[in-house]
């Protein structure tokens, strides 16, 4: 393999630039040509492809977002779109791909290989940390710390005004962001998709806290919780406790931006190197990840289909520490 392409796809995550940097410089180190593909599969279809050198990725390791831009592509979901993408890669002489993204990105890469035989190695780039095959995904640590910084500030206001704050964090269908935010932020209650936390339970916990002379509460809500959004949950609780002074804060996309933490820069760099070396070793349709501090490669089909479970001890920690 002499020429590879790299692209980012789906939601952006802090550390993607660090990963791009590692991929480009690893390719240069091993004497490979590397081409950047802007705007994910959309750019692949349109031929928005350019040659990258070591200098191209200078001074980006500390920056959030992605130098290559990102997009979700409806056109790539069609046979015609994938055919156009293949023709563009062939025109540029690209023999293998490194995809930085999540399960949607890897699903597309898996289908693309089956149809056209373009090998791809993936780097897990998503703040949600919901990909099977790695303990941590690129951007997750930064997102948690960003959310935790905001929760610390909200705690000050909650305490000053003796209020209940319902704070919604991102995570799609996963509670991986919510759990460390609840533990690290001293929240009294956490609501995540992986566990059934009813409105009645929330009310019981609030009343139990008031009986112990607690005057302020933080309820962390993962955006995919079965009871609804933080706004909906706060409304349901307020209906049964009308005198409760409640506020809702939705942290939203602030969690996706910002300079990556040291942990995310290290992870992104390690996985970027592993992706290029994986392609060189003949691997395909696999995601590079870290499990128990060891580098592993997991087939895309497992990453896409297998669920990454949350350690139940973490939810128990919230219960213990909130008394």
Please confirm, yes or no, whether 128 is among the known catalytic residues: yes
- Same domain for 268 and 215, yes or no, is no
Flag whether 165 is in a domain: yes
Residue 300's Cβ-side half-sphere holds a number of Cα atoms within 13 Å equal to: 26
Domain boundary among 229, 257, 285: 257
Average pLDDT on 56-72 reads 96
How many structural domains is the chain composed of?
Answer: 2
**pLDDT band for position 322 (cuts 50, 70, 90):** confident
Q: Are 158 and 151 in contact (CB under 8 A)?
A: no
Helices 79-91 and 103-116 cross at an angle (nearest 10°) of: 70
Flag whether 320 is in a domain: no
Report residue 94: phi and psi, to 5°.
-80, 125
* Residues annotated in a binding site for substrate: 126-128, 163, 170-172, 223, 247, 253-256
Flag whether 322 is in a domain: no
Q: Is 323 a residue whose pLDDT tops 90?
A: no
Among candidate residues 12, 128, 130, 141, the one labeled active-site is 128
In this predicted structure, what is the pLDDT of residue 22? Answer: 98
In this predicted structure, what is the pLDDT of residue 307? Answer: 93
- Same domain for 21 and 127, yes or no, is yes
Average pLDDT on 201-208 reads 96
Percent of the chain with pLDDT over 90: 97
**pLDDT tens digits for range 69-94:** 998 899 999 999 999 999 999 999 99
* Residues annotated in a binding site: 11, 21-25, 72-73, 102-105, 126-128, 155, 163, 170-172, 186-188, 212, 214-216, 223, 247, 253-256
User: Can you give the CATH number for the domain in which 203 is found?
Assistant: 3.40.50.460
In angstroms, rounded to a whole number, what is the distance separating the alpha carbons of residues 323 and 321? 6
Please name every residue paired with 121 in a beta bridge, in sequence order, or none if there are none. Answer: 98, 286
Tokens of 185: 């932020």
* Residues annotated in a binding site for ATP: 11, 72-73, 102-105
Q: Is 137 a residue whose pLDDT tops 90?
A: yes
**pLDDT band for position 172 (cuts 50, 70, 90):** confident
Q: Is 140 a residue whose pLDDT tops 90?
A: yes
* Residues annotated in a binding site for Mg(2+): 103
In this predicted structure, what is the pLDDT of residue 2? Answer: 96
Q: Is 227 a residue whose pLDDT tops 90?
A: yes
Lookup result for tokens 């533990």: 183
Which residues lie below 8 Å from residue 125, measured CB to CB, with a gap of 6+?
8, 10, 13, 15, 16, 19, 100, 101, 102, 137, 138, 139, 268
Q: 249 is in which domain, residue-wise? A: 143-257
């Amino acid at each position: 393999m002499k020429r590879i392409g790299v692209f980012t796809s789906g939601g952006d995550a802090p550390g993607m630039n660090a990963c791009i940097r590692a991929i480009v410089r690893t390719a240069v180190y091993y004497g490979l040509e590397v081409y950047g593909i802007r705007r994910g599969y959309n750019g692949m279809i349109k031929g928005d492809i350019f040659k990258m050198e070591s200098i191209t990725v200078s001074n980006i390791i500390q920056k959030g977002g992605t130098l290559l831009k990102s997009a979700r592509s409806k056109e790539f979901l069609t046979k015609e779109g994938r055919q156009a993408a293949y023709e563009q890669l062939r025109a540029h002489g690209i023999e293998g791909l490194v995809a930085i993204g999540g399960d949607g990105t890897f699903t597309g890469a898996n289908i693309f290989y089956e149809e056209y035989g373009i090998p791809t190695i993936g780097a897990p780039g998503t703040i949600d940390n919901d990909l099977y095959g790695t303990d941590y995904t690129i951007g997750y640590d930064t997102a948690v710390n960003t959310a935790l910084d905001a929760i610390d500030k909200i705690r000050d206001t909650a305490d000053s005004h003796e209020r209940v704050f319902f704070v919604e964090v991102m995570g799609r269908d996963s509670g991986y962001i919510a759990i460390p935010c609840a533990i690290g932020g001293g929240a009294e209650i956490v609501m995540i998709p992986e566990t059934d936390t009813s409105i009645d339970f929330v009310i019981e916990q609030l009343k139990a806290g008031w009986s112990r002379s607690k005057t302020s509460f933080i309820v962390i809500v993962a955006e995919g919780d079965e009871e609804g959004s933080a706004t909906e949950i706060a409304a349901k609780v307020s209906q049964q406790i009308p005198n409760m002074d409640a506020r809702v804060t939705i942290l939203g996309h602030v969690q996706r931006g910002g300079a990556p933490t040291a942990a995310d820069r290290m992870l992104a760099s390690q996985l970027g190197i592993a992706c290029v070396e994986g392609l060189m070793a003949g691997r395909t349709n696999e995601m590079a990840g870290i499990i128990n501090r060891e580098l592993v490669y997991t087939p895309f089909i497992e990453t896409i289909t297998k669920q990454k479970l949350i350690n139940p001890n973490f939810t128990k920690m919230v219960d213990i520490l909130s008394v």
